[in-house]
């Protein structure tokens, strides 16, 4: 266990940040799964902008890597076009 006040505070901050990041990453993964499971092109195309916005925000705040966001957007767009 840490001995310094600043170390204890840092541990508390990291725990809070981890929970926050985990929530948004999990929400993003569920949205991607939902979009990939869709079989109707119109519904998928309607949901895509919100998922794209979510991916961009998470990449901007470094919760996911910017290349991962780009790869997911590309694969989701290809999925929608294949429907």
Q: How confident is the model at residue 2 (pLDDT cuts 50, 70, 90)?
A: confident
Q: What is the CATH number of the domain that holds 69?
A: 1.20.58.110
Helix (H) or strand (E) holding 38: none
- Count how many residues are written for the chain: 83
* 10-33 confidence digits (pLDDT tens): 999 999 999 999 999 999 999 999
* 42-74 confidence digits (pLDDT tens): 999 999 999 999 999 999 999 999 999 999 999
Out of 1-5, 12-16, 76-80, which region has the weakest mean confidence (pLDDT)? 1-5
Total structural domains within the chain: 1
Structural domain that includes position 35: 5-82
Number of helices followed by number of strands (H, E) in the chain? 3, 0
């Amino acid at each position: 266990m840490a001995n310094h006040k600043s170390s204890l505070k840092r541990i508390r901050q990291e725990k809070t940040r981890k929970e926050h990041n985990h929530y948004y990453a999990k929400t993003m993964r569920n949205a991607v799964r939902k979009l990939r499971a869709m079989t109707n092109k119109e519904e998928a195309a309607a949901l895509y902008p919100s998922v794209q916005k979510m991916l961009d925000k998470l990449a901007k705040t470094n919760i996911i890597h910017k290349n991962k966001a780009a790869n997911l957007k590309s694969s989701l767009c290809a999925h929608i076009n294949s429907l």
